[in-house]
Amino acid sequence: MKYPYGSVYKEQKLFTMAFFINRTSFFIFLCASLLCACKQETQWKGQAPIKKVSTQTVPIQLQFKGTFDLGDGVFMSNDYMGARLNGVARTNDTLISVLITPENLPINPSPWYGFKIWSETEKEIFVKLTYNENAFHRYDPRISRDGQKWEVLDSLKYQVDIKIWEEREVPENLTMKISIGKDTLWISAQELITSSEVDIWMDKLASKSFVSKSKIGESKVGRPINLLTIGTSDDQKMIIAISRQHPPEVTGFLAMKAFVEILCSDAKMAKKFRARYNTYVVPLVNPDGVDNGHWRHNYGGIDLNRDWKDFKQPETSAIRDFMKQKVTQTGGKFYFGVDFHSTWEDIFYTINPELKGNMPGLIPELIASIGNELEDYKPNVKPSLGAGNEITSKAFFFNEFGAESLTYEVGDNTPREFVRQKGEIAAMQLMELMLK
């Protein structure tokens, strides 16, 4: 059976490209995009090769948290987990300017933002998101009335100014028109999923007899690095999944969530898989970064997915130590490892398929089977040279343990239903292949 989500996936590409235009050119752009969509699409080539960097702890800049009185009965706040608002000013009667800056530099351009706004009386107002010189606007605004249910702000209610960055046009800032009143309006770069929400989800799964939750370490400032253990096997065959090394990468977390829930389902194949394989999941590798609204780094000012060789940070060290201890204590093997991320478009980063791990051919077969299950969807795959850069989780899983591994990247604007569907299919196809 093929699942008809290819057309939904194509919507994401149009939506992502619309991100770079302002309202006045929307109609012309949309027509051109629709014409282009009728032609053969060229897949995104993915990120440039990763370079080794120092992962020694460096300082970060903390936000000043509080509630800000902007006059005329208008208030704004960043005093909650996951918020990011580094400065705010009332520019005139109808415009509020917000400054968003990163935790430190240099940094990947993933400018997370999040704040609450309300007013003593109902009114319409403009809010302008501005960034430091070397950054640009990336995430389309999402709004919520309760911090739980989110929707994308209508594209007709915001516009962007364009600048040239590294020889291409990018949004320099974004100005949105919003309606505010006594009820709080939440505005965020993506859905707000902090450590509290992740813990609730983990605890719900841990209520099942074959799932347990444990702590395998602590973050830089003492938040728990929590682990889910799924299965009833003897640990001779294991798999590992991790997520949220980078705080803004919510779509990667949502894909991981769908993937894991299928492994925990009552399906006959899931029960059989859990009897043969134990699955270990770290859903939130970087709790400090997530809860502090970071763009990319942990509390040590480091991109954790560059620390899988030197292990200078406690979060990566905790996962390394857990995996090594498991293998030493049980004599078992890790057969599969996956790290869920988010980026501009959906893509799989893989180990060179010519290299053989503990289950040769698993990754190419898995990706092909996912593509076969989704109508009009062609997986975008970028194999690494050799085993890939040794500083990432994918290479560590493979080089250290022989686990067939991949980085599962999800587009920032990929429709959430497609994110869920593909995550579920990935889990089903993985179980089928590993049970052969």
**Are both 206 and 305 inside the same structural domain?**
yes
Give the C-alpha separation, 66 to 120, whole Å.
18
Question: Based on the structure, what is the number of domains in the chain?
Answer: 2
Same domain, 429 and 309: yes
Do residue 184 and residue 232 come from a single domain? Answer: no
Q: Is residue 162 part of a domain?
A: yes
Residue 250 lies in a domain: yes
State which of 188, 212, 246 marks the end of a domain: 188
Instruction: Report the distance separating Cα 303 and Cα 43, nearest Å.
Output: 27
Q: Is residue 29 part of a domain?
A: no
Which of 160, 188, 216 is the endpoint of a domain? 188
Q: Judge whether 3 lies within some domain.
A: no
Spatial separation of the C-alpha atoms in residues 238 and 335, rounded to whole Å? 6
Instruction: Report pTM.
Output: 0.92
Q: Say if residue 121 is in the same domain as residue 180.
A: yes
Cα(420)–Cα(256) distance, integer angstroms: 9
Phi/psi at 381 (5° precision): -125, 135
Do 199 and 165 reside in the same domain of the chain? no
In this structure, the answer to whether residues 136 and 204 fall within a common structural domain is: no
Q: 425, 407, 245, 240: which is closest to 336 by C-alpha?
A: 240
For residues 313 and 55, the answer to whether their CB atoms sit within 8 Å is yes
Asked whether residue 223 is domain-assigned, the answer is yes
Kindly report the length of the chain.
Answer: 436
Quick one: tokens of 86? 């580094």
**Same domain, residue pair 155 and 212:** no
How far is Cα 382 from Cα 128, in angstroms, rounded to an integer?
Answer: 37
329 by Cβ neighbours in 10 Å (0-12 / 13-18 / 19+) ranks as: exposed
Q: How buried is residue 243: exposed, middle or buried, by Cβ count under 10 Å (0-12/13-18/19+)?
A: buried
Domain contains 50: no
CATH code: domain of residue 323: 3.40.630.10
Q: Identify the pLDDT of residue 389.
A: 64
Tell me, what's the pLDDT at 108? 93
Containing structural domain, residue 324? 195-434
Per-residue pLDDT of the chain (436 residues; tens, 9 = 90+): 565 544 444 444 444 444 444 444 433 333 333 343 444 468 888 888 888 999 999 999 999 999 999 999 999 999 999 999 999 999 999 999 999 999 999 999 999 999 999 999 999 999 999 999 889 999 999 999 999 999 999 999 999 999 998 888 999 999 999 999 999 999 999 999 999 999 999 999 999 999 999 999 999 999 999 999 999 999 999 999 999 999 999 999 999 999 999 999 999 999 999 999 999 999 999 999 999 999 999 999 999 999 999 999 999 999 999 999 999 999 999 999 999 999 999 999 999 888 999 999 999 999 999 999 999 999 999 998 765 568 999 999 999 999 999 999 999 999 999 999 999 999 999 999 999 9
Main-chain phi, psi angles of 387, to 5 degrees: -90, 5
Residue 34 inside a domain? The answer is no
139 and 222 in a single domain? The answer is: no
Euclidean distance between CA atoms 195 and 199, whole angstroms: 6
Kind of pairing between the strands at 211-218 and 151-152: unpaired
Instruction: For residue 130, give the nearest of 108, 103, 101 by alpha carbon.
Output: 101
| Residue 381: count of CB within 10 angstroms of its CB | 18
Burial environment of residue 344 by CB neighbours within 10 A (0 to 12, 13 to 18, 19 or more): middle
Are 201 and 142 members of one domain? no
Residues 161 and 232 in one domain: no
Residue 83 lies in a domain: yes
End position of a domain, from candidates 188, 217, 252 = 188
Residue 410 and residue 293 share a domain: yes
Query: Given this model, what pLDDT does residue 190 score?
Result: 98
CATH of the domain at 171: 2.60.40.3120
**HSE of 341, CA atoms in CB hemisphere, 13 A:** 24
Query: Could you tell me if 285 and 390 lie in one domain?
Result: yes
Which pair of structure tokens corresponds to residue 61?
């800049």
